[in-house]
Amino acid sequence: MEKVQLHNTINDASETREVEPRQLLVHMLRDSMRLTGVHIGCDTSQCGACTVLLDQETVRSCTVLAVQTEGVSIHTIEGMECDPTVTALKQAFNELHGLQCGFCTPGMLLAARALLLRVRDPSEDAVREALHGNLCRCTGYQNIVDAVLLAAATLREGEAVAIEEACHE
Ligand code: FES
Ligand code: FES
């Protein structure tokens, strides 16, 4: 099958590559770019494990063709090292045991980030609603919800500035 030239930005680096028109974004990121924080759980838009950001919006990369990302800025969890919201979430997940095997965690972090950018002080119900499309087979969800609430409190207290500064040291 004839390949198509694709230009986009992935984790803040400009990329040009040839892709098959039928290749899914999740396969391009995992197989071609070795961005293995993008997980494949269901391949049918059910689990959220393949969540990435397209122009800062959360998207399931198993539902998008790579060629649809022409000119788009893509971020995977690997590109969020210096993001203060993700950093606060990671610390809270670590502190409150919001993960066990970690398979769902990149998708959970990106979905929770999207919530915390919209709502500074979410209720427990709002957290559950925001994460309802991300499945976890290990934790029973309560620790994840608690971790998101803790991260929200950390960010409200302004500790995110310190987190961001630490990242650039
Ligand atoms: S692998 Fe994409 S939603 Fe499950
Ligand atoms: S920590 Fe294992 S699937 Fe969520």
- Give pLDDT tens digits for 26-67: 999 999 999 999 999 998 899 999 999 999 999 999 999 999
75 shares its domain with 98: no
Residue 20 backbone class (left: φ over 0; alpha: ψ -120 to 50; beta: rest)? beta
Percent of the chain at pLDDT exceeding 70: 93
Task: Dump pLDDT digits (tens) for 143-153.
Answer: 999 999 999 99
Mean of the pLDDT values across residues 123-133? 97
Task: Indicate which residue's Cα is closest to atom 3 of ligand 1.
Answer: 45
Q: d(Cα 102, Cα 144) in Å, to the nearest integer?
A: 11
Residue 64, domain extent = 4-79
CATH number of the domain residue 30 falls in: 3.10.20.30
pTM of the model: 0.93
20 shares its domain with 60: yes
Overall domain count for the chain: 2
Exposed / middle / buried, residue 67 (Cβ in 10 Å: 0-12, 13-18, 19+): middle
- Over 80: is that where the pLDDT of 168 sits? no
- Over 90: is that where the pLDDT of 165 sits? no
Token output for 151: 């991260």
67 shares its domain with 86: no
Ligand 1: nearest atom to the Cα of 135: 4
131 Cβ inside 6 Å of ligand 2: no
- Over 60: is that where the pLDDT of 161 sits? no
Ligand 2: nearest atom to the Cα of 100: 1
